[in-house]
Structure 1
Amino acid sequence: MSFFKKLISNDNGFNKNAESIDLGLYELSQEYEVRIERVTESNSKINRQTLLPKCKPNDDVTLKQNQNDDGLVEIEVWTKYGMVGFLQYSQVQKVTRSEKNGGKFTAKIHMITGGTKDKPNYGCILWMQHYVKKED
């Protein structure tokens, strides 16, 4: 199955930025940092380590839900430069559970770590916002 066929539609509850959430219907529930994983892998012919230094704090990211070859749900983290990694599995469970109940999430780059002589590999921390439907 091709990559694009495996992606769940854009109507899957994941949002690119907070402006896409109707604050008349939703309210902010939580904000927190999340370290993404698998940032040292390559996708296709692009090494993620070459993408991360281009990212800046507050850059929007898109979260894309995908089912891997083992049938497990993963959430890919995409920037304007390409895919830079995945949400941790504990976060995948939280996001998908909330999304099934009408919750929405946004994410931005919070910080790029590493890239030094002591720690040559880059890492990435996201700033996540979780929105829930307002109660009547």
Structure 2
Amino acid sequence: MFEWLFGKKHQKLTMNDIDSDYRVVGVSFDNSNGTNRQTLLKKCTMNQEITLKRKRSKEYPNAIEVWSKVGQLGHIADDDAIDLAEIIDNGTRLTAKIKKITGGTTDKPSLGCIITIQEK
């Protein structure tokens, strides 16, 4: 972890180095085109393939958006995106699927989404 302290070269991260399941955040917001992410999540199913899109900005240099075939569902949390962004930026090809849609109950009416990411 602290290789730089001892002069060792930083090794590239791989999916073996980090978790494979991620909670999608921002699912309660509307997209810039006006679509409601909660409505989009209702159209999604378990094991549905999704797309990860890198979207760098000054404010969020490691941003990774989560998209389904119906639109943007949210993004990967900043803390998780740091390592995952490095893996994507290193050219690693990834696949992602919806592992679980959460919520939608009387006690928790808002929907959530857990995704699984693997190296191709």
Query: TM-score scaled by structure 2?
Result: 0.76
Number of aligned positions between the proteins: 105
Q: Structure 1 53/31 Cα, relative in aligned 2: closer, same or farther at 3 Å?
A: same
Q: Which residue of 2 aligns with 1:74?
A: 63
Match of 2:98 among 109, 124, 136: 109
Structure 2: any 5+ residue segments left out of the alignment?
1-13
Residue 31 of structure 1 contacts residue 130 of structure 1 at CA under 8 Å; is this kept in 2?
no
Q: What percent identity do the matched residue pairs reach?
A: 38
Q: Which residue of 1 aligns with 2:21?
A: 33
Letter matched to residue 113 of structure 2: C
CA distance in 2 between counterparts of 1:105 and 1:64 reads: 11
CA distance in 1 between counterparts of 2:19 and 2:59 reads: 31
1:90 correspondence with 2:104: no
1:99 correspondence with 2:88: yes
CA distance in 2 between counterparts of 1:71 and 1:101 reads: 18
Structure 1: any 5+ residue segments left out of the alignment?
1-26, 132-136
CA distance in 2 between counterparts of 1:82 and 1:100 reads: 23
Match of 1:42 among 30, 33, 42: 30
CA distance in 1 between counterparts of 2:103 and 2:119 reads: 27
Q: Deviation per CA, 1:78-111, whole angstroms, max 9, x where unpaired?
A: 0011000001112211122123434332210011
RMSD of the alignment, in Å? Answer: 2.2
Letter matched to residue 53 of structure 2: K
Normalized per residue, the structure richer in strand is 1
